[in-house]
A = this chain, B = another copy of it.
Amino acid sequence: MRDPDTFESQQTLLVVDDEQDILDLVSTNLRRVGFTVVTASDGIEALEVAQKMKPDLIVLDLMLPGKDGFAVIKELRQDSKMRRIPVLMLTAKGEVSDKIAGLEIGADDYLTKPFSPRELTLRIRAILKRSSHVLSESSLEKENFRIERDSMRFYLKGKQIDLTSTEFKLLRLLLEADDRVQEREHLLREVWGYNDSTMTRTLDTHVKRLREKLGDFADCIQTVRGVGYRFSAR
């Protein structure tokens, strides 16, 4: 009898690294624990494969010939089809800067080389669990909040509340972020498509409107001054 946790529809991982031995090592290990693994050895290839295969997760080395990990993530996040694919970033020792530590680059997690295969699979499982829960189901429920992605409806304490489409997008992002701070720039990019991040106050205004509609729960949208907003359900 199989452990129910491993009894999952096979999940596909894309592993991207330019060092062949690491690629081999990682993929054999991941296959051994039940994943389907495809590989790529540079950024361009990675993007192509990602587009074609729609992997459930990408393991991405930061240092790549041609297009580095940052660039790959950036393009990934700009494509609506691939935006949701979680990324686990691999970094060499010296590359660990604050940017990475803060996960400001858009990766979902990162791992410093050298790492043990066990650690890698643990991380992958954690991300997949989190994101399958959060992202793939059509409705997302959290405490008193509930969002139905398909119908674009929002419920607070079971009661439906009308949101405009922008409000909905914004609240959805905040909810999906699950207590992580979402930077202003990020929200502006995701909801409005603003890439320049210049002066606009529309985010503030919409947050205000959302808070109004949340009533007693207005404080669930917390502002992190100088950074962005964070949603903490209750």
Q: A152-B224, A165-B226, A165-B227 are in contact. Are A82 and B94 (CB under 8 A)?
A: yes
Give the docked Cα–Cα distance between A5 and B118 (Å): 6
Residues of B within 8 A of A215 (CB): none
Q: Is A144 an interface residue (CB 8 A)?
A: no
Please indicate the chain B residues that have their CB under 8 angstroms from the CB of A78 in the complex: none
Q: Is A65 an interface residue (CB 8 A)?
A: no
In the bound complex, do residue B149 and residue A8 qualify as a contact, i.e. CB atoms below 8 Å apart?
no
Q: Which residue of B lies closest to A102 (CB)?
A: B149
Chain A to chain B contacts (Cβ below 8 Å), 18 pairs: A8-B117, A54-B92, A55-B93, A56-B114, A80-B97, A81-B95, A85-B93, A85-B94, A110-B136, A112-B132, A112-B135, A150-B180, A151-B179, A151-B232, A152-B227, A165-B224, A165-B225, A165-B227
Interface: A142 (CB within 8 A): no
| A 109-121 to B, binary, CB cutoff 8 A, 1 in contact else 0 | 1111111111100
Contact of A117 among B7, B85, B172 (CB under 8 A): B7
Contact A93 to B84, CB < 8 A, known contacts A56-B114, A151-B180? yes
* Contact present for B54 and A93 (CB under 8 Å): yes
Query: B residues within 8 A CB of A230?
Result: 151-152
**Smallest CB separation, A53 vs chain B (Å):** 10
